[in-house]
Structure 1
């Protein structure tokens, strides 16, 4: 009997297979980088999209194409988000259909936290053997882990600080006006 072993090629961009926590975070970080670059290029090559968002100048073609490209990029991002979520669920030996929970607001945050923190099966399960995490995936995952909280902190603190500075300037102007009046 001739048994020939044919290794299966695990494509991370397809829903069948498994993703460990670090692979899941690494691929999500890569997807975020790609989306930022794609949307940045769309804005860079579409003059007036940022300065004239309501198309007051009447040139509709560049804006329409840019919006269509952004919609296509967003759909691609949604697709890959579901692929990565399904693969992570497979690592936990759950059905990929649970990925539809990601469509429910607020519950999707809990699902994301579950996928990040829940340990995967170390043994083969019905979705295959554990997939080894590549070094570059680990690097991107740690970058995601370290940068994401900093980004949230910055998104909250910078506008709060700007509001504080603006209110302090208003109070200072009021005090100066009162000093002039006296």
Structure 2
């Protein structure tokens, strides 16, 4: 989990998308709290210390804010890749009402089963394909007192390659 968190390549599961959002929110709130403390509680009552505290608080808040935005965008793009959609769809999150609905869609929609154009399935699932199994058909033919057995391999969606199958049985 959390391989290359700032990369725009690859796919992530719903749980990783949720946890990355939760972690980003917690880090952001901690940075805001620390920046506020640097603003409010200066080392002394002088104006110089308030200026240094405010500057450090602002630098910290801006640095963390930039990293969190990039991290969140990268995680959103990878989640869109899991849904087999382009990363440009992340721009829908910036539209006021549509953004919340689209973010919920990204959180709850199941990803593409199996590999897609953006990488392997993070759940290691493979697409399920049913191959028709061949069926051996045995026909006993009684003609003029002789019994002959023919066995032929037939797939369910195909017709027998030789001969015809008659279902009517006449008794005299």
Is the structural similarity TM-score above 0.5?
A: yes
Q: Which residue of 2 aligns with 1:29?
A: 22
Q: Which runs of structure 2 are paired with 1:18-167 in the superposition (5 Å)? A: 18-44=11-37, 46=38, 49-50=39-40, 58=47, 59-132=50-123
Q: What's the CA shift string for 1:25-84, capped at 9, x where partnerless?
A: 01111222222333333344x1xx2379xxxx7432211221122122111111111001
Q: Does 1:11 align with 2:1?
A: no
TM value normalised by structure 1 = 0.57
Point out which structure has higher relative CO (alpha carbons under 8 A, 6+ apart): 1
Question: Which structure 1 residue ranges, 4+ long, deviate > 6 Å from structure 2?
Answer: none
Q: Could you say what the CA RMSD is over the residues aligned between the two structures, in angstroms?
A: 2.6
1: distance between equivalents of 2:56 and 2:123?
40
Unaligned runs of 5+ in 1: 1-8, 134-182
Unaligned runs of 5+ in 2: 125-172
2: distance between equivalents of 1:130 and 1:92?
10
TM value normalised by structure 2 = 0.60
Higher strand proportion (structure 1 or 2): 2
Q: Do the aligned residues in 2 keep the contact of 1:10 with 1:17 (CA within 8 Å)?
A: no
Q: Which residue of 2 aligns with 1:178?
A: none
Q: Which residue of 1 aligns with 2:154?
A: none
Q: Relative to structure 2, which stretch is displaced further, 108-117 or 97-106? A: 97-106
> Quick check: which has more Rg, 1 or 2?
2
Q: Do the aligned residues in 1 keep the contact of 2:35 with 2:56 (CA within 8 Å)?
A: no
